[in-house]
C-alpha cells in the first residue's frame, strides 16, 4: 500500500506534484491544524472588532474603499467566487486540476491565510475522491493570483460549478454528494484565500518542468543517434574541451553523450579530410547544456513557489502576544514564474530548432555528404521516403518561434487601473506547454529519421545495431519496437505519433537508464 502524501505547508516537491497529479492519495498533516486555526481566529477577531482589512471587511480591487459590514462578510466571499468564475477556453486536464488542488491546499496549510482547516480538508478530500473541478484554461492575468481559474475550482467546494467524477461531468453539488462529501459555507476571507494565488502557474509549471527535464534528456539521445547515423565524430564531446569552459550542465550533457556513445563503431575516427562536424552535431553540449540551465532555473523557481504563501492579505501572529498583523502585499504576483517559464520555453524552442536541423541533414544527401540516400529511400523519385517528416518538424519549429515571445514583457491594467501591472504568467505556462508538446514531436521525428539512417548505415557499411553505442542502441531498439524500417512509402503520421508517445511517456529515457547510470552524468 502506497503511503499518502502528507500535506503540511512545507517540503512539497515537483515530484510530489507529479505523483499526486497521477492519482496518489493525500493527507493533511495534523501539525498544520493549529497554525491554520490561529490565523482563522485572528480573522474572526478582526471582523468582530470592526477593523478594516482588505478583502475581509472591504470590497476587492477598485472596491477596496467600500466597507463591508460584519453581517455581509460571508455574502462577500460567496459573491467573489461567483463573480470571478469568468474563465474561457479549453478546460484544464485532470492532471493540472489535481496539481492545483494540491498546491492550493499546501499553501493554505502554511497558516497565513486565515482559512478554516475544514475548507483545506475538503480540497484534499476532493483529490482523494477524484472530484475534479471543470476549469476553463484562459482568463488569468497572473497577478492578484489566478483568479478566474481558482474561482471555478472554488465553485465546486460550495456545491456549484461542475466537476468530473469517474469520467462523468456533474454539477458541483452532485459530484460532492456522489463522493460522500459535503460543500462548505465560506466565512470571512475564505473565498479570497481560495482564489488569490499563483496556483495554476505553479501547478502546470511543476508538470512542465518534469516534462522538460525528460525532453532534454531525450533530445540528447536523439542527437547522439543522429551522430551515429551521419558518421559523425564524438571528439567534440571530449571531457577536456568542456572542463575549460566549465558550465556545469554543458559538462553534464557532454558526459551523457559520451556515455550514450560508449563503444560505438558507427562513429568516424580522426579524418584529415573531415576534421569537424556541423554545429548541430558538434555544439550539442553547449546548446543543450544552456537549455538544461533554463530548465533548472524554472525548477528552482517553481520549487519555491510550491511552498510559498501567495495569498493577500496575509495574517501574521506575534508568538508572544498573539496579536495579529494583517498585511496587504503582492505575493500573488506571478512574475517569478512568468520569467522562468518564458526562459524555459525560449530555450526549448531552440532545442527544437537544433533537432529539426539534424533531421534536415539526415534526409538531405547533398548536405550529409552522401552518407545516407536522399530522403532515406532507395527509390527516390518514385517514392518520397521521409521527405515530408522534415516539413512537419519545420512547421512546428517555426510555430514555436512565435509562441516563444515572452509573455512576461506584456502587461495590461485591470480593475479600473488599480491593478496596473500584471505578469501574464498563466499565458507563459500555457505557451510553454505548447512549445514542449511541439518539441516532443520534433524530437520524435528526429528519432524516427535517425533510426532509418542507422539501418541504411548497416546496409551500406556492413555494420549491425550491436555495433552502436550502449545507450543509443537501447533507444534504437525501442523505436524499432514501434516503427519498422520503412522499405516503401506509407502514411507516416501514425509512426510519428507512436514515437512521440515514447518521448512523452519517458520510455526513451527509461530505455537509456536501463544501460546507463543517469545519476552520474546528469545535473538537474
Which residues are the active-site residues? 54
Residues 414, 429: Cα–Cα separation, whole Å:
20
Residue pair 440/217 in contact by the 8 Å Cβ criterion = no
Dump the DSSP string for 458-475.
Answer: HHHH---GGGS-HHHHHH
SS3 400: helix
| R_g (Cα) of the chain, nearest Å | 27
Q: Is 317 left (phi over 0), alpha (psi -120 to 50) or beta?
A: beta
Residue pair 210/95 in contact by the 8 Å Cβ criterion = no
Residues 273, 325: Cα–Cα separation, whole Å:
75
**Sign of torsion, CA 82 86 87 88?**
positive
Residue whose C-alpha is closest to residue 24's, from 135, 98, 85, 76: 98
Residues 392, 464: Cα–Cα separation, whole Å:
30
Q: Give the chain's largest Cα–Cα span.
A: 87
Dump the DSSP string for 161-213.
Answer: SEEEETTEEEEHHHHHHHTT-------TTHHHHHHSSSHHHHHHHHHHHHHHH
Dump the DSSP string for 346-385.
Answer: HHHHHHHHHHHHHHHHHH-TTTTTTSS-GGG-SSBTTB-T
- Residue for grid cell 555494420: 463
What residues contact residue 49 under an 8 Å CB cut-off, 6+ apart? none
**Which grid cell is 10?**
512545507
Residue whose C-alpha is closest to residue 192's, from 89, 95, 68: 68
Which one-letter DSSP state was computed for residue 503? H
Amino acid at each position: 500500500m502506497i503511503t499518502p502524501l502528507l500535506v503540511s505547508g512545507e517540503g512539497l516537491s515537483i515530484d510530489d506534484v507529479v505523483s499526486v497529479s497521477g492519482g496518489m492519495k493525500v493527507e493533511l498533516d495534523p501539525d498544520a491544524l493549529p497554525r491554520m486555526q490561529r490565523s482563522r481566529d485572528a480573522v474572526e477577531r478582526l471582523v468582530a472588532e470592526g477593523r478594516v482589512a482588505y478583502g475581509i471587511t472591504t470590497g476587492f480591487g477598485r472596491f477596496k474603499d467600500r466597507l463591508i459590514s460584519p453581517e455581509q462578510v460571508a455574502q462577500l466571499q460567496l459573491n467573489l467566487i461567483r463573480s470571478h468564475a469568468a474563465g474561457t477556453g479549453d478546460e484544464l486536464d485532470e492532471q493540472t486540476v489535481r496539481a492545483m488542488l494540491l498546491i492550493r491546499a499546501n499553501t493554505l496549510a502554511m497558516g497565513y491565510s486565515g482559512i478554516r482547516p475544514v475548507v483545506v480538508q475538503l480540497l484534499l478530500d476532493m483529490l482523494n475522491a477524484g472530484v475534479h473541478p471543470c476549469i476553463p484554461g484562459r482568463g488569468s492575468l497572473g497577478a492578484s493570483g489566478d483568479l478566474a481559474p481558482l474561482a471555478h475550482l472554488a465553485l465546486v467546494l460550495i456545491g456549484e460549478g461542475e466537476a468530473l467524477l469517474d469520467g462523468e461531468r456533474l454539477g458541483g453539488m452532485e459530484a460532492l454528494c456522489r463522493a460522500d462529501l459535503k460543500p462548505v459555507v465560506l466565512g470571512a476571507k475564505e473565498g479570497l484565500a481560495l482564489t488569490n494565488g499563483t496556483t495554476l502557474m505553479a501547478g502546470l509549471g511543476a508538470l512542465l518542468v518534469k516534462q522538460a527535464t525528460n525532453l532534454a534528456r531525450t533530445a540528447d539521445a536523439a542527437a547522439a543517434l543522429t551522430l551515429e547515423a551521419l558518421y559523425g565524430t564524438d571528439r567534440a564531446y571530449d571531457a577536456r574541451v568542456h572542463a575549460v569552459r566549465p558550465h556545469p550542465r554543458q559538462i553534464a550533457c557532454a558526459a551523457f553523450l559520451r556515455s550514450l556513445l560508449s563503444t560505438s563503431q558507427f562513429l568516424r575516427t580522426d579524418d584529415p579530410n573531415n576534421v569537424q562536424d556541423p554545429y548541430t552535431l558538434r555544439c550539442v553540449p553547449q546548446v543543450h547544456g544552456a537549455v538544461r540551465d533554463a530548465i533548472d532555473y524554472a525548477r528552482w523557481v517553481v520549487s519555491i513557489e510550491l511552498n510559498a504563501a501567495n495569498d493577500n492579505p496575509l495574517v501574521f501572529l506575534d508568538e508572544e502576544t498573539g496579536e495579529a498583523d494583517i498585511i496587504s502585499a503582492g505575493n500573488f504576483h506571478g512574475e517569478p514564474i512568468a520569467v522562468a517559464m518564458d526562459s524555459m520555453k525560449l530555450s526549448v524552442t531552440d532545442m527544437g530548432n537544433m533537432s529539426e536541423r539534424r533531421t534536415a541533414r539526415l534526409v538531405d544527401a547533398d548536405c550529409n555528404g552522401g552518407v545516407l540516400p536522399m530522403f532515406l529511400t532507395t527509390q527516390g523519385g518514385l517514392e518520397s521516403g521521409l521527405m515530408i517528416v522534415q516539413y512537419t518538424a519545420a512547421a512546428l519549429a517555426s510555430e514555436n518561434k512565435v509562441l516563444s515571445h515572452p509573455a512576461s514583457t506584456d502587461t495590461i491594467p485591470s480593475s479600473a487601473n488599480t491593478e496596473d501591472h500584471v505578469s501574464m504568467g498563466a499565458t507563459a505556462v500555457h505557451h510553454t506547454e505548447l512549445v514542449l508538446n511541439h518539441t516532443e514531436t520534433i524530437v520524435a521525428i528526429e528519432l524516427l529519421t535517425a533510426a532509418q539512417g542507422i539501418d541504411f548505415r548497416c546496409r551500406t557499411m556492413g555494420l549491425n545495431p550491436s555495433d552502436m553505442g550502449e545507450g543509443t542502441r537501447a533507444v534504437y531498439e525501442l523505436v524499432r519496437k514501434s516503427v519498422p524500417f520503412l522499405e516503401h512509402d506509407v502514411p507516416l503520421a501514425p509512426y510519428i505519433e507512436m514515437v512521440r508517445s515514447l518521448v512523452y511517456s519517458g520510455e526513451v529515457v527509461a530505455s537509456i537508464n536501463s544501460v546507463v547510470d543517469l545519476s552520474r552524468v546528469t545535473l538537474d
